[in-house]
Amino acid sequence: MVNLQQPAMPVISRSEQGAAAVTIALAMVLLMGVAAVAIDLGVGWNERRQDQTSSDLATVAGALSFADQDAIVNEVLSTSLTNVDSTFSNAEWEALWTSCLDSDRPPGFLPITSSTLGVIDCISVNPSFLRVRLPDQVVATSFGRVIGSDQLTTHADTIVTLLDGDGTGLLPFAVRGDAGAGEICLDTGTGQIDPPCDGNESGSFGNIAPPLFGNPFLPTTPECSNQSSANNHVAESIAMGIDHLLFTFTQAQWTATGWNVGDNTSNNTVDAQVNMDECNDTGGELAEAADGVPIEGVYIDTGNNVKADTTEGLITGVNFQDGGDARLTRSSVTRDLDGYDLDNIPLWTHLMAAGGATGHGVAVCDGPTIRAEPDLGLRNDLMRTCLETYASNGETAQIFADTILGTPRLGVAPRIWHTGLGSGLSFRPIKSFDVVYIAGIWLNDAQGPTKPATVFYPDENDSSDITPNKNNWVVEQVTAWLLLPDMVSDTVLAIYPGLTNEFQPSIYQ
């Protein structure tokens, strides 16, 4: 017989009573902690993504305002404030930027300075890049308070490139402060001088002679020229563009100097108040400027040897540091000049039609009409009339197509405050930057007191008149078409950071 018995009920001691409740309570705390982390980290990551977007947009906006320091600061602050997730007053936002420290800034970046806010450590530049480090953003937690964390902190940073691999486009020629739209003189000499050039000033021909600051994006090798004769880099700077940032000397700065645009201001007077494009005087060390503020002035060289450098940079030079040859050989549409294939794209190639539904409406600038003129001299006259009339009438229509970007004749040149180049070696502060298109090149191909020159303009009907002897000739004079910013599209202006439709430009580079 089998005896079946029920198992005995477990006996719970008093010491074990309530253990389940404690376990459940601990599990709830753990679960709430996990929920806190999940929810609050989600909020934090959302803030981080918004911060990155704000930083990216602000950096691009700052780059497009390059390189007027106040314009950069204004664009970065206003764009970032618009795109951050939190709400700040303008005063609160400025306070965050003025107290922001960029401890992770890469070597070689210099903080920029606002005339109203002072040094902004979290906005910095080097010769090729603009960096923005967004101030820390604080996010209040919800469930995180349960585990003792009532806020999260995030930030973001962005670096944008200010150059492309084809060079900077910034030409080492000085535009005089009183130059207007039309054909202007970029480079003049001592031989046959034709309008719009009027000859050199005490040995100054209009060439800017910058040292090489070393640009890893081009790339160039740093070399500090002897400032008594810095023209050994003129050819390189013509061929591939000046390799570093240049800034404007602002209206307020100019007014404070008390200088007159016609003054033949001495080098020492200018150099004491403007951060010049020169090397340190000791040790050959390169410097953006003595006090860390970006360069606001340029060194205008002198001497006949700059003619040879101009010739090399425009026509004859090969294998410059960016891998390319002379500037005007960097083209797919060329014309032979005594064995050199030079860009043959005239400005009127890019001029759009005035009439029709898509026309720009500026009758004097009708592209088909100007291109139909068979005589080159008359075509130049029509082009000159177009640009001068456009300026005098206050037109604002875009008249040039974006195809203008496809030629090495297009570039940007710094406009100096002074209406003259100065005597001998001179330093000149930068007023603004102009869009220029290289037009005519005068070649001194004979000896004698008059030094007659052959003129090379693009789009001539044949090349039979271009017969210089390259063993003897040098570039004696260079002219360019000066364009107003409204004449080209925003796409074109964006290629050269700092050029805007309001034309308060400061480009670098």
Condensed to tens digits (0 to 9), the pLDDT of residues 261-272 reads: 888 777 777 877
Distant-in-sequence, close-in-space partners of 254: CB < 8 Å, separation ≥ 6: 417, 429, 431
- The whole domain housing 72 covers 25-161
* Contact assessment for residue 457 and residue 477, using Cβ atoms and an 8 Å cutoff: no
Residue 272 within a domain: yes
Q: How far apart are CA 48 and CA 156, in angstroms?
A: 7
Q: How far apart are CA 244 and CA 454, in angstroms?
A: 34
Q: How far apart are CA 439 and CA 177, in angstroms?
A: 20
* Per-position DSSP letters for 211-276, written without gaps between them: PB---TTTT---B---TTS-GGGHHHHHHH---S------HHHHHHHT--TT----HHHHHTTS-B
Residue 394 within a domain: no
Q: How far apart are CA 477 and CA 271, in angstroms?
A: 28
Residue 15 within a domain: no
Do 322 and 446 fall into the same domain?
yes
* Contact assessment for residue 274 and residue 280, using Cβ atoms and an 8 Å cutoff: no
Residue 374 within a domain: no
Q: How far apart are CA 283 and CA 35, in angstroms?
A: 61
**Residue type for 405, please?**
L
First vs last C-alpha separation in the chain: 107
Model pLDDT for residues 135-174, shown as the tens digit of each residue:
888 776 665 555 555 667 777 888 876 544 455 678 999 9
Model pLDDT for residues 26-75, shown as the tens digit of each residue:
666 666 666 666 655 555 555 567 767 767 777 677 666 554 567 788 88
Model pLDDT for residues 8-24, shown as the tens digit of each residue:
555 555 555 556 666 66
Task: Choose among 430, 384, 435, 375: nearest CA to 405.
Answer: 435
Task: Choose among 477, 407, 400, 488: nearest CA to 441.
Answer: 477
Do 149 and 255 fall into the same domain?
no
Do 115 and 204 fall into the same domain?
no
* Cα 375 → chain centroid: 37
The angle formed by the CA atoms of residues 398, 401 and 406, to the nearest 5 degrees, is: 140
Region for residue 53 given its phi and psi (left: phi exceeds 0; alpha: psi -120 to 50; beta: otherwise): alpha
Residue 166 tokens read as 């084809």
Four-residue CA torsion sign, 361, 363, 369, 375: negative
Report the pLDDT value the prediction gives residue 328, as an integer from 0 to 100.
Answer: 94
Last residue of a domain, one of 129, 161, 193: 161
Do 143 and 103 fall into the same domain?
yes
* Contact assessment for residue 477 and residue 307, using Cβ atoms and an 8 Å cutoff: no
Q: How far apart are CA 444 and CA 41, in angstroms?
A: 72
Residue 376 within a domain: no
Structural domain count of the chain = 2
Residue 384 tokens read as 């000159």
Last residue of a domain, one of 130, 161, 192: 161
Q: How far apart are CA 355 and CA 366, in angstroms?
A: 8
Report the pLDDT value the prediction gives residue 507, as an integer from 0 to 100.
Answer: 30
Residue 5 within a domain: no
Task: 329-332: list long-range contacts, CB under 8 Å, 24+ apart.
Answer: 330/166, 330/408, 331/407, 331/408
Do 156 and 199 fall into the same domain?
no
The DSSP 8-state label assigned to residue 196 in this structure reads: T
* Contact assessment for residue 311 and residue 329, using Cβ atoms and an 8 Å cutoff: no
Do 208 and 279 fall into the same domain?
yes
Distances (CA, A) of 118 to 1, 98, 111, 274: 103, 8, 10, 18
Q: How far apart are CA 156 and CA 158, in angstroms?
A: 7
Task: Select the highest-mean-pLDDT range: 201-210, 258-267, 295-304, 477-486.
Answer: 477-486
- Over 80: is that where the pLDDT of 122 sits? yes
Q: Indicate the SS3 state at residue 479.
A: strand
Report the pLDDT value the prediction gives residue 2, as an integer from 0 to 100.
Answer: 47
To which H or E segment does residue 84 belong? none
In 242-380, the DSSP E strands lie at: 297-302, 334-337, 340-343
Residue 298 tokens read as 């340029």
* Contact assessment for residue 210 and residue 227, using Cβ atoms and an 8 Å cutoff: no
Regarding predicted confidence, which is higher, 325 or 214? 325
Helices (H), 156-225: none
C-alpha R_g of the chain = 31
- Pairing type for strands 340-343 and 474-483 reads unpaired
Q: How far apart are CA 76 and CA 64, in angstroms?
A: 10
Percentage of the chain beyond pLDDT 70 is: 68
pLDDT band per the 50, 70, 90 thresholds, residue 297: confident
Four-residue CA torsion sign, 420, 422, 425, 428: negative
The angle formed by the CA atoms of residues 111, 116 and 121, to the nearest 5 degrees, is: 20
Do 200 and 311 fall into the same domain?
yes
Residue 507 within a domain: no
Q: Give bridge partners of residue 170 from the DSSP assignment.
A: 412
Regarding predicted confidence, which is higher, 464 or 218? 218
Do 112 and 208 fall into the same domain?
no
Q: How far apart are CA 210 and CA 312, in angstroms?
A: 16
Do 341 and 295 fall into the same domain?
yes
Residue 379 within a domain: no
Do 291 and 427 fall into the same domain?
yes
Q: Indicate the SS3 state at residue 404.
A: helix
Do 122 and 91 fall into the same domain?
yes
Q: How far apart are CA 397 and CA 144, in angstroms?
A: 57
Least confident residue range of 16-25, 75-84, 125-134, 394-403? 16-25
Neighbours of 140 (CB within 10 A): 11
Report the pLDDT value the prediction gives residue 136, as an integer from 0 to 100.
Answer: 87
Do 251 and 192 fall into the same domain?
yes
